[in-house]
């Protein structure tokens, strides 16, 4: 591991002086990276809180809101420390704590309990609890409780749902547990929290779905144009659509389905992506938001990334011209794998066409269309059963897609955000017809792995040539070792630099 990677992996909240300087400067770049707790008020805040900076002797720093809550602190009503981008550390790191945090944010504990979380991670409950408590200051139940509190605040402040419905949707087992958690975390009752809201947006019904308007925060700078262009170019008809400079797609979620419409920030002062979310089951709110944030890479730390990339002379112009570049993620692991296999050795347009045909033949239809969004991407079970009948193209590619779908359907392969990158990559390479490019592409986008360089990609090598970098895979990899652990983002710059008329092979 390089010195840069070690520095990134070290938890900033353990460095008191660095954290205190960020708090004194009210530096919003550190929001979500650690929690500031004040012993005299028993309140925890985000680093950029506008309140008077507390004296150093009265400050404690924690890695998560759950750790601060476990220590007896409640959330600041002024800065709302839960309403910030998530910690970029969970994407950079691939250890147990990071993988657990990604699954907790997706609502696994609410759906499967701690035993289910431990099973997905390959640990015993006791091992998992011990590891998370030592690393994050709180066990899985406390971390999930903090996540539920955030979901509850969203529902209280952004909707007019009855509190009983809000409690159920946020993952609480009873209204009493909901009330107690809100009082403990926010220092007020649900009624008082709802009364303080400034611009309520009533929840409405649309085609039998509950409709919510949300704001998804990010760290500046944010290359919104690049992300939305990337998604629009690959939009599968019926499943996805480009719209009014934005993007929409259907979602298959644990309890039901949803459609999400996303718009880039409006104006230089906006720090949010606007999201119109329509859910068939409100229990899926947190999971949907988590997946959309990963899709847009909203929890990235662009200052840290751009600072390292700019040290490579060939990337200086790209970083200056496109600050805050992102690596688009995925809302569903199996879907991304199938789409990557469909796109092997073909252009982006061809991959999109093939995915559209597959979705039209095997995808489930929404009960009610939402504009151009009509279809859910096919399940692995459907592809495994009917793929040979509907897929077109080289026989070897068709068999690789069906074999991968069958492995997922049979439980032999799990492609989810809690996987260890090296283990997932090895399992993918064991599948017939899956090569290094496909395995690395899936790891990069499904796990938000920041340090994957797709040296076998044609368009990426064309971009390298345009920037004066080596095009030989081994030489290019060695040259860009200096920008670790951000080589995934370096690759996005290389893709951007590729000649526009290239076929873009290898970029599904």
Tens digits of residue pLDDT in 306-354: 999 999 999 999 999 999 999 999 999 999 999 999 998 889 999 999 9
Please report the pLDDT score of residue 505 as a whole number. 46
Does pLDDT of 457 surpass 70?
yes
Q: Which of these ranges, 189-203, 263-277, 280-294, 335-349, has the smallest mean pLDDT?
A: 189-203
Residue 324, classified by CB atoms within 10 Å of its CB into exposed (0-12), middle (13-18) or buried (19+), is buried
Tens of pLDDT, residues 141-183: 999 999 999 889 888 987 888 999 899 889 898 999 999 999 9
Does pLDDT of 2 surpass 50?
no
d(CA 63, CA 289): 21
Phi-psi map region of 101: left, alpha, beta (phi>0 left; psi -120 to 50 alpha):
alpha
Q: Which of 300, 232, 307 is nearest to 262 (CA)?
A: 232
Please enumerate in sequence order all residues whose Cβ is within 8 A of that of 145, keeping only pairs 6 or more positions apart, or say none. 66, 69, 181
Catalytic residue (choose from 19, 31, 45, 82):
45
Give me the domains of the chain, ranges plus CATH numbers. 3-75 (3.40.10.10), 94-195 (1.10.10.60), 208-294 (3.30.310.20), 333-497 (1.10.340.30)
Tens of pLDDT, residues 28-61: 888 988 999 999 999 999 999 999 999 999 999 9
d(CA 459, CA 233): 15
Does pLDDT of 502 surpass 50?
no
Answer yes or no: 297 catalytic.
Answer: no
Please report the pLDDT score of residue 203 as a whole number. 59
Answer with the residue of higher pLDDT: 187 or 204: 187
Answer yes or no: 45 catalytic.
Answer: yes
Percentage of the chain lying above the pLDDT 90 cut: 78
Does pLDDT of 465 surpass 60?
yes
DSSP 379: P
Please report the pLDDT score of residue 205 as a whole number. 58
Q: Which of 422, 498, 425, 436 is nearest to 463 (CA)?
A: 498
Does pLDDT of 355 surpass 80?
yes
Q: Which of these ranges, 77-81, 128-132, 238-242, 290-294, has the smallest mean pLDDT?
A: 77-81
Catalytic residue (choose from 82, 332, 403, 457):
457
Residue 471, H or E segment: none
Helices 108-121 & 140-158 angle (0-180, nearest 10): 150
Does pLDDT of 504 surpass 60?
no
Please report the pLDDT score of residue 199 as a whole number. 60
Does pLDDT of 252 surpass 80?
yes
Hey, what are 211's tokens?
A: 């409709």
Q: pTM to 2 decimals?
A: 0.91
Please enumerate in sequence order all residues whose Cβ is within 8 A of that of 395, keeping only pairs 6 or more positions apart, or say none. none
């Amino acid at each position: 591991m390089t010195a840069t990677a070690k520095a990134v992996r070290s938890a900033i909240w353990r460095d008191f002086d660095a954290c205190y300087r960020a708090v004194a400067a009210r530096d919003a770049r550190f929001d979500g990276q650690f929690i500031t707790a004040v012993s005299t008020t028993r309140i925890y805040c985000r680093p950029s809180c506008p309140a008077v900076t507390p004296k150093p002797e009265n400050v404690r720093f924690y890695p998560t809101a759950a750790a601060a809550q476990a220590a007896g602190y409640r959330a600041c009503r002024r800065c709302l420390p839960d309403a910030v981008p998530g910690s970029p550390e969970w994407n950079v790191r691939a250890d147990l704590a990071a993988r657990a945090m990604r699954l907790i944010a997706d609502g696994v504990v609410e759906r499967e309990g701690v035993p289910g979380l431990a099973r997905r991670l390959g640990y015993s409950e006791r091992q998992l609890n011990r590891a998370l408590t030592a690393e994050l200051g709180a066990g899985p139940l406390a971390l999930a409780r903090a996540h539920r509190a955030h979901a509850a605040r969203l529902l209280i402040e952004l909707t007019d749902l009855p509190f009983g419905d809000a409690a159920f949707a946020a993952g609480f087992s009873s209204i009493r547990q909901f009330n107690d958690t809100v009082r403990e975390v926010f220092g007020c009752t649900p009624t008082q929290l709802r009364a303080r809201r400034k611009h309520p947006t009533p929840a409405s019904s649309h085609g039998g779905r509950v409709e919510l308007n949300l704001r998804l925060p990010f760290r500046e700078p944010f290359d919104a144009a690049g992300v939305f262009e990337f998604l629009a170019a690959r939009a599968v008809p019926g499943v996805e659509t480009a719209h009014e400079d934005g993007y929409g797609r259907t979602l298959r979620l644990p309890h039901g389905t949803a459609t999400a419409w996303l718009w880039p920030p409006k104006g230089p002062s906006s720090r949010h992506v606007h999201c119109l979310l329509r859910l068939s089951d409100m229990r899926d709110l947190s999971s949907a938001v988590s997946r959309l944030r990963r899709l847009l890479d909203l929890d990235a730390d662009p200052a840290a990334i751009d600072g390292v990339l700019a040290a490579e002379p060939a990337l200086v112009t790209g970083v200056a011209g496109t600050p805050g570049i992102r690596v688009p993620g995925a809302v569903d692991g199996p879907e991304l794998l199938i789409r990557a296999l469909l796109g092997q050795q073909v252009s982006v347009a061809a991959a999109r066409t093939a995915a559209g045909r597959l979705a039209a033949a095997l995808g489930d239809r929404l009960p009610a269309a939402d504009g151009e969004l009509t279809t859910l991407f096919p399940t692995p079970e459907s592809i495994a059963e009917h793929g040979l009948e509907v897929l077109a193209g080289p026989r070897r590619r068709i068999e690789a897609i069906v074999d991968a779908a069958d492995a997922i359907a049979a439980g032999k392969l799990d492609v989810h955000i809690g996987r260890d990158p090296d283990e997932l990559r090895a399992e993918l390479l064991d599948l017939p017809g899956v090569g290094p490019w496909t395995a690395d592409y899936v790891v990069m986008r499904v796990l938000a792995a920041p340090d994957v360089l797709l040296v076998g990609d044609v368009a990426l090598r064309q971009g390298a040539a345009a920037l004066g970098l080596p095009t030989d895979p081994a030489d290019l990899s060695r040259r860009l070792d200096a920008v670790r652990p951000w080589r995934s983002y370096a690759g996005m710059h290389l893709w951007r630099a590729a000649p526009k008329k290239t076929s873009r092979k290898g970029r599904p």
